[in-house]
Amino acid sequence: MMALCLPSLHLFFYPHPNLRSSYYPYRVPVSSKLRASLITKEEAPEAEEPPLPSSLRALDRKPLSAHEGTLTPRSVDFNAWYLDVIARAELADYGPVRGTMVIRPYGYAIWEAIQDYLNAKFKETGHSNMYFPQFIPYSFIEKEASHVEGFSPELAVVTIGGGKELEEKLVVRPTSETIVNHMFTQWIQSYRDLPMMINQWANVTRWEMRTKPFIRTLEFLWQEGHTAHATAEEAEKEALLMIDVYKKFAYEQAAIPVIAGRKSKAETFAGASCTYTIEAMMGDRKALQAGTSHNLGQNFSRAFETQFTDENGQRQHVWQTSWAISTRFIGGIILTHGDDAGLMLPPRLAPVQVVIVPIWKKDDEKIGVLSTAVTVEQTLKSADIRVKIDGSEQRTPGWKFNFWELKGVPVRIEIGPREVADGSVVVSRRDVPGKLGKDFGICMEPSMLINHVKSRLEDVQASLLRSATLFRDRNIVDVRSYEELKEAISQGKWARGPWSASLCLVDDSQRR
């Protein structure tokens, strides 16, 4: 019954479903029949490895001249725009090994903001952090039948250690259910040890053929929660609770109006009884799986004999969940909110919420403008607003406006000689271009300025969510027949239809 809390009784079909399924952080065994039926004609198979966009390398070689080119417009080539933004906003770069990514400080700071929020939520909901080794004996992966089927094609395998061929090959963790169960068997004896609720922040490796920075990389960072419970009901409740934590995070922090629901059987995580997901619509109307929470049933506990003695002295297998969000989410933020001027960051996750651009022409104006800028910076810092002054003399104010717009900073404050004289500043918001987005003559008096800036940050946060929700809803079509479905997909929209799938708990018994 609990699955009814989620809007999962509709099935969504998405354009470009084969790209979408390869977006998954969790490998799902996709039936080739289902995929085939949904692939649209215009979709050419992707190359094994997208060619290195010249812009990405070139710009990293001269970061200071990043402004001199223009971003590829989204309407011309959405993928090129995405890579341009990542390069010029200095979010990430390619690593030396195919498909790997270096997360640069500005991109990593977004990840830290995501971690700060989720980490607190995980602890509030009773989970403890810990750390499992990343090397997993190959035999562990083979213990759960659908798990090995789903993961074996994409494993990185260590065969040499300390100069010698290893007796048993080691898998670099693609996910940790197997090693977690191995350890749980040692820590769980009786019902008093349950529930066991843990999380780890870690890197994972999946040998993906088609990669894209943040969205799908050979190695990525994530958190993976793992829990064990005495009853099926408790596990289901936990799986639903965590998808709800993710959904709130997406709405309230990332301003991404995800749709929470349940995956079809074909798209369920390899080893799970059912998978809950949050799906987000990107700016090109593709679907991004932004987070998942799995009810694992007893699939792993039976494979690993993870048992407990219940209150009646009977041995029982535990019921489990696992759930994850990864650095892919950063890709989701770029692809949801970005525009032709670059990145647009939701204020709650933005490493820099406010940039101050001091403007002067004559040397005798400089000191007054800069010292006022520093005062404004201190005022905002005292209110825990993340603020930065761009006081460099090598760039014009116009260059700086473009650069910080490209970086997606939500609010800009301009201070020139006139503002110094007036005791006021100009406040511009990133999401509304031109004069419409500017507030002139905002008083510098600390409490007034802080109130104004805080309320502008909230406005931008709300406006990003509103725009993304409008865009999403304009691009979902309710369909009642296969013909209507095909029509919607061919227009690049999402199709929503009724779904006769039964609930997770009912389904589970049929699954094995």
Beta carbon of residue 115, minimum distance to a copy of itself (angstroms, whole number): 11
Q: Are strands 128-129 and 196-205 parallel, antiparallel or unpaired?
A: parallel
- 313 is a contact residue toward a copy of itself (CB under 8 A): no
118/172 with CB nearer a copy of itself: 172
Structure letter (DSSP) for residue 72: P
| Shortest CB 169 distance to a copy of itself, Å | 8
101 binds a copy of itself (CB under 8 A): yes
Restricting to residues 140-169, which ones interact with a copy of itself according to CB under 8 A? 140, 152-163, 169
Selected from 31, 203, 378, 490, the binder of a copy of itself by CB under 8 A is 203
> Distance between CA 350 and CA 446 in Å, rounded?
22
Which are the contacts of 378, defined by CB distance < 8 A and separation ≥ 6? none
In whole angstroms, the minimum distance from the beta carbon of 183 to a copy of itself comes to 6
Phi and psi dihedrals of 151, rounded to 5? -100, -25
User: Exposure of 391 by Cβ count < 10 A (0-12 exposed, 13-18 middle, 19+ buried)?
Assistant: middle
In the bound state with a copy of itself, the residue whose beta carbon lies nearer, of 15 and 213, is 213
* SS3 (DSSP) at 35: helix
Distance of CA 407 to the CA centre of its chain: 18
One residue of 9, 109, 374, 389 binding a copy of itself per CB under 8 A: 109
Q: How far apart are CA 480 and CA 460, in angstroms?
A: 37
103 binds a copy of itself (CB under 8 A): yes
Using CB under 8 A, which of 10, 104, 265, 388 touches a copy of itself?
Answer: 104
- Please report the beta strands in 381-471, taking only residues with DSSP state E, as ranges in sequence order: 387-389, 411-415, 424-429, 438-443
- Category of 388 on φ-ψ map: left (φ > 0), alpha (ψ -120 to 50) or beta: beta
Assigned token pair, 224: 């993976």
Whole-number minimum distance, CB 392 to a copy of itself, in Å?
A: 10
Q: Which string of DSSP letters, residue by residue, matches 108-123? A: HHHHHHHHHHHHHHHH
Choose the stretch contacting a copy of itself; rule: CB under 8 A; options: 216-224, 295-303, 363-371, 497-505.
216-224
Q: How many residues bind a copy of itself (CB under 8 A)?
A: 65
User: What residues pair up with 353 in beta bridges, in sequence order?
Assistant: none
- Tell me how far apart the alpha carbons of residues 60 and 54 are, in angstroms, rounded to a whole number: 10
Q: How far apart are CA 495 and CA 493, in angstroms?
A: 6
Euclidean distance between CA atoms 295 and 234, whole angstroms: 10
Q: Assess 193 for contact with a copy of itself (CB under 8 A).
A: yes
Binding track, positions 38-67, relative to a copy of itself; x by CB under 8 A: -------------------x--xxxxx---
Min dist CB 158 to a copy of itself, Å, is 5
- Closest contact distance (angstroms) between CB of 197 and a copy of itself is 10
Residue in 54, 186, 312, 510 binding a copy of itself, rule: CB under 8 A: 186
CA 460 to chain centre: 20
Residue with smaller CB distance to a copy of itself, 103 or 254: 103
CB atoms within 10 A of CB 193: 15
Which is nearest to 373 in space by CA: 334, 419, 434? 419
Name the residue nearer to a copy of itself (CB basis): 153 or 441: 153
Whichever of 355 and 468 has its CB closer to a copy of itself, that residue is 355
Quick note: the x/- pattern for a copy of itself over 222-261, rule CB under 8 A, is: ----------------------------------------
Nearest alpha carbon to residue 70 among 341, 436, 429, 345: 341
Question: Which residues contact a copy of itself (rule: CB under 8 A)?
Answer: 57, 60-64, 93, 95-97, 100-105, 107-109, 111-112, 128-137, 140, 152-163, 169-170, 172, 179, 182-183, 186-187, 189, 192-193, 198, 202-203, 205, 207-209, 218-219, 221
